[in-house]
Structure 1
Amino acid sequence: MKLTVLLGLASVVVMAPSCVSSKKFKKSQSEYAALETRYTTLQGNLDNCNTEKAELARQKGLLESDIANLNKQIDFLKQNNTQALKQLEDLSVISSAQAESIKKSMENIGAKDNYIQTLQQQIARKDSLNMALVMNLKGAIGNLDDKDINIKVDKGVVYIDISDKLLFKTAKFDVTPEARDVLGKVAMVLKNQPDIEFMVEGHTDNVEYKGAGLVLDNWDLSVKRATSVVRILQKQYGLNPAKMAAAGRGEFNPVSNNDTPEGRAANRRTRIVILPQLDQFFKLLEPGK
C-alpha cells in the first residue's frame, strides 16, 4: 500500500513540470530572484541598524559609568566637608556666621552639581536625537553608494555629504533631474523635524574655474550650487526658508588631497550641516535656569 502511494506521488512530481508552462515558470523564477534580492537588501539594512544601535548602547553605558563615578566623588567630598565643618564648630575655631557662610557655599556646590547633571542629560538627549536623525536619513535614502552620499555625526553635528557627480554636471550649478529625487528624500526627513536648522555648503576642488558667463570662479560656483539646492528644498519640497542658510566654501575646506583625481572628486561636494540649536543650550547657562 505504502509503495503504491509513493509511486503515485512520484508520478505527480514527474508530471508536474509538464503542467506548468515555460513562460510561467520563468516568471516565477524572476519573481523569486527579485524577492531574494529584496531580502538581501533588507537584511543588510537591519545589520547596519543593529550595529549603530549597539554602538549607541556602548556610548550610553560609558556616559552612565562616568556620571556614576562623578556622583560618587561628589558624595565623598560632601561627606568630608560636612565632617570638617562639624569638627570646626565643635572646636569653636570659627564663628557661627562663618559656619553659616561655609554651609551656603556647600549648598551652592550642590546646586552646581545639579546644573552639571542637567547639562549632561541635555547632551545625552541631543546625541540620541542625532543618532535617530542619522538612522532616519539612511533609511529614507536607501542603498546609495557611500561615494555619492555620506551621512555621519562628528562632535555632535550631523553632516550629509553629496558628491557633485550626483547633483551637478561639470562646472554647472543646475541640479540634475536625477538628484532631485535624492534631495526629496532628505527633505522628507528634515520636514518631519520642523525645529531643525541647517546650512547647505558648496565645495569645489582646487582646479581653476575657466568657464564664462554668470560664474566667476570656484568661490562663485560653490555659492551658486548651494543656493540651487536651497531653492529646490524650499520651492519644490516646502521646507521653511527661515530654517535654511546657503554658503560657498570654494576649494578652501577640502576633505582629501587635491593631488589625485580621487581626492579632487571627494572635495567636489555639497554638504548639508544640521546646525546645533545654540539658543536652547545657552538658555541653560543663564542664571536661575
Structure 2
Amino acid sequence: MVKKISAGVLALALTTSCVSSKVYKDLENKYADLKKENRQLSDDNESLTKERNQLDMQAKDLQGQLEKLKAERDKLAADYAAAQSNLKTLKESYSALEKNSSEALDSNMKKNRELLAQLEAKEKALAAEQERLNKLKSELQNRSQRVDELEGMIAAQEANLKRLKETLSRALNSFEGKGLTVEQKNGKVYVSMENKLLFGSGSWTVGTEGKKAVSEVAKVLADNPDIAVLIEGHTDNVPYNGSGQIANNWDLSTKRATAIVNIIRENKGVDPKNLTAAGRGEYAPVATNETAEGKSKNRRIEIILTPKLDEISKMLNEI
C-alpha cells in the first residue's frame, strides 16, 4: 500500500508544476527507498533459492548413493544365485560320489562344507546390505520431507511478515508524510519514526501525535504475540548540550527508546518479554549529517519487528 501511495504521489508531483522542490525531493527519496527495498527483496529471494538448490544437490547425492547400493545388492544377489547353482551341482556330485571310495567322499564333503560356509556368508552380507539400503531410503525420505516442511515454513514466515507490514501500513496510513515509514527487508519489518513526529529538541517526552502513532503499532503487536520487538533510539551527530539527567546523545537515545517501550506497554495485550529498548546514539545514521535534512532523518526511532525463528533453526540443524 505504501508503494502504491508513493507512486501515485510521485506521479502527481511530476504532472503538477506548482509543487515545491522540497516536496518533489522528498518524493524522489521515497521512490529511491522503494527501489532499494525491491532490490533487497530480490536478494532475499535469491538467497532462499540458493539454499533450496543446495538441499536439492544433497538429495541428488543421496539418490546416487542409493543407486550404488542397489547395484551392490543386485551383484550380491547374483553371487547368491550362482552359489546356489554350485550348491545344487555339488549335491548332485555328492550323491554320485557316495558310491565311490570313502577318501573321495571325504574330499567332496569337505568342499561341500566350504561352499556351504561361503553361501551362508554371502547370505549374511546380502541381508546386511539390504538393511543398510532400507535405512538409507528411510533417511532420504525423512530429509526430503523435512526440506519440504522447511520450505513451507519459510514461505509462511515470509507471507506473515508481508501481512504484518501491510497491517502496519494500514494502521499508520494517516501518519505518512509526517516522518513515518514502514519497510520489509532482511526478513524483518521496520517502522521508522523521525523525531519531529515524536519528541521536541533534547526531550524524551512523546508528543500527542507521536503517542497516537505508537499506540497504533502496539495494537498490531498485541495481535502478533510471536514477534520480537526491538526499539532503537537514534540521534544526529550534534553533541547534546542540555543538563540534568542526560550526559550525551547515547543517554538521550536510550531514554527515547525507553519512552516508546513504556507507551507500547500500556497496551496489556503486548507481552513485555517481547520488548527490548536500545540506544544507538549517532552511530547508526541513515543519511549524511552534513545537511539539515540528513540530520532530521537520523534523529529517529526504529521499531524492528522480527519473527521468532526457533522452529526453523531447529529444522535446519536436523537436516
When normalised by structure 1's length, the TM-score is 0.69
SS across alignment from 2:175:
coil
After TM superposition, give the deviation of residue 111 of structure 1 in Å: 1.8
Q: In 1, Cα distance between the equivalents of 2:298 and 2:46?
A: 35
Quick one: which amino acid aligns to residue 118 of structure 1? E
CA offsets 1:26-56 (integer angstroms, 9 cap, x no match): xxxxxxxxxxxxxxxxx959x89xxx9xx9x
Question: What residue is the counterpart of 1:176 in the other structure?
Answer: 207
Quick one: which amino acid aligns to residue 253 of structure 2? S
1:209/1:216 contact within 8 Å kept? yes
Q: 2:236 aligns with which of 178, 191, 205?
A: 205
SS across alignment from 2:280:
strand
Q: Which runs of 5+ in 1 are unaligned?
A: 1-42
Quick one: which amino acid aligns to residue 234 of structure 1? R
1:184/1:237 contact within 8 Å kept? no
Quick one: which amino acid aligns to residue 245 of structure 2? L
Q: In 1, Cα distance between the equivalents of 2:59 and 2:264?
A: 52
1:187/1:237 contact within 8 Å kept? no
Task: Kindly report which structure 2 residues correspond to 1:206-221, keeping only aligned pairs within 5 A, or say none.
Answer: 206-221=237-252
Is 2:271 the partner of 1:240?
A: yes
Q: Which runs of 5+ in 2 are unaligned?
A: 10-33, 80-121
Q: 1:264 aligns with which of 295, 299, 311?
A: 295
CA offsets 1:81-112 (integer angstroms, 9 cap, x no match): 44433322233399422453354234323322
Change in 2 beyond 3 A, CA 1:86/1:158: same
Question: What residue is the counterpart of 1:145 in the other structure?
Answer: 176
SS across alignment from 2:242:
coil
Quick one: which amino acid aligns to residue 216 of structure 2? K
Question: What residue is the counterpart of 2:194 in the other structure?
Answer: 163
Q: 1:250 aligns with which of 256, 275, 281?
A: 281
After TM superposition, give the deviation of residue 115 of structure 1 in Å: 1.7
Change in 2 beyond 3 A, CA 1:69/1:232: closer
1:219/1:249 contact within 8 Å kept? yes
Quick one: which amino acid aligns to residue 172 of structure 1? S
Q: In 1, Cα distance between the equivalents of 2:276 and 2:311?
A: 19
Identity %: 32
After TM superposition, give the deviation of residue 193 of structure 1 in Å: 1.7
After TM superposition, give the deviation of residue 124 of structure 1 in Å: 0.8
Question: What residue is the counterpart of 1:11 in the other structure?
Answer: none
Q: In 2, Cα distance between the equivalents of 1:185 and 1:155?
A: 23
SS across alignment from 1:229:
helix
1:198/1:243 contact within 8 Å kept? yes
SS across alignment from 2:266:
helix
Q: In 2, Cα distance between the equivalents of 1:172 and 1:149?
A: 19
After TM superposition, give the deviation of residue 74 of structure 1 in Å: 7.4
Quick one: which amino acid aligns to residue 221 of structure 1? L
2:235/2:282 contact within 8 Å kept? yes
Question: What residue is the counterpart of 2:75 in the other structure?
Answer: 91
After TM superposition, give the deviation of residue 66 of structure 1 in Å: 8.5
Task: Kindly report which structure 2 residues correspond to 1:19-58, keeping only aligned pairs within 5 A, or say none.
Answer: 44=5
Task: Kindly report which structure 2 residues correspond to 1:186-201, keeping only aligned pairs within 5 A, or say none.
Answer: 186-201=217-232
Change in 2 beyond 3 A, CA 1:209/1:276: same
Change in 2 beyond 3 A, CA 1:122/1:103: same
> Looking at CA atoms only, which structure, 1 or 2, has the larger radius of gyration?
2
Question: What residue is the counterpart of 1:229 in the other structure?
Answer: 260
Quick one: which amino acid aligns to residue 227 of structure 1? T
SS across alignment from 2:287:
coil
Q: In 1, Cα distance between the equivalents of 2:169 and 2:302?
A: 15
Change in 2 beyond 3 A, CA 1:260/1:64: closer
Aligned length: 240
After TM superposition, give the deviation of residue 205 of structure 1 in Å: 1.1
Cα RMSD (Å) of the superposition?
3.8
Moved over 4 A (4+): 61-82
2:230/2:305 contact within 8 Å kept? yes
When normalised by structure 2's length, the TM-score is 0.63
Is 2:100 the partner of 1:116?
A: no
After TM superposition, give the deviation of residue 263 of structure 1 in Å: 1.7
After TM superposition, give the deviation of residue 165 of structure 1 in Å: 0.7
After TM superposition, give the deviation of residue 189 of structure 1 in Å: 1.4
Q: In 2, Cα distance between the equivalents of 1:64 and 1:250?
A: 34
Range that drifts further, 108-117 or 147-156: 108-117
